[in-house]
Structure 1
């Protein structure tokens, strides 16, 4: 049985499975995966109310599903990324700044910048 400490609480693995962790808060014993149990402890420390770790287990799964929807595209030397899969959740580091919006809007912004840059360079040559 493994032991760990988190925010002043002692965590122990359950006898049935090394993946199930338990913590005693006052008279209640909470059990679940390690991340969910830690989230329950955080919740207790922040709000003084108990939330069962099973409530937080679905949060980790939703985050994994969202990361599987991640997309990346390269456009004129810039990397456009979307971590959530939503249409307007694209972002790009552009000239040292973070720009966000739809993929098409980011592409138009980059194209406009590149055209303006080419015109400025052409005028300097004259």
Structure 2
């Protein structure tokens, strides 16, 4: 049985398991993963309200499911989406962060590349 301390509260692992932890706040025993129990303690310290660690564990599972994360290379630029939501794509483009739908970011990059090609073509014509 492992023993630890977090923000002044005594933590101990459940018998026969290193994945399940317990902490006692007032008369309530909080049981769950170490991260979830610590979040419950943080919540108690910050708001003086008890939240069961199972609530935090269910939120983390939902976040893992939703945040499958997508990444795509488009004309040499990396477009990313961490949440899986359709309008939450982003890209570092010419030193700036641009955000929006994947299609809008692609159109922005294409417009920039077309304008860049035209400018280079004009410069080459002026040199001749």
Does residue 1:10 correspond to 2:10, yes or no?
Answer: yes
Alpha-carbon offset, residue 4 of structure 1:
1.8
Aligned residues: CA RMSD: 1.2
Please give the alpha-carbon distance, in whole angstroms, between the structure 2 residues aligned to 1:114 and 1:38: 49
Please give the alpha-carbon distance, in whole angstroms, between the structure 1 residues aligned to 2:107 and 2:7: 48
Q: Which residue of 1 aligns with 2:33?
A: 33
Gaps of 5+ in 2: none
Residues 83-126 of structure 1, C-alpha deviations (whole Å, 9 max, x = no match): 12211111111111111111110000000111111122222231
| Structure showing greater Rg | 2
Q: TM-score, normalised by structure 2?
A: 0.91
Q: TM-score, normalised by structure 1?
A: 0.92
Q: Which residue of 2 aligns with 1:124?
A: 123
Q: Which residue of 1 aligns with 2:103?
A: 104
Q: Which residue of 1 aligns with 2:59?
A: 59
Residues 4-51 of structure 1, C-alpha deviations (whole Å, 9 max, x = no match): 222222211011422110011122211111111011011001100111
Gaps of 5+ in 1: none
Residue correspondences, number: 125
Could you list the structure 1 runs, at least 4 aligned residues long, displaced by more than 6 angstroms after superposition.
none
Q: Which residue of 1 aligns with 2:48?
A: 48
Q: Which residue of 2 aligns with 1:74?
A: 73
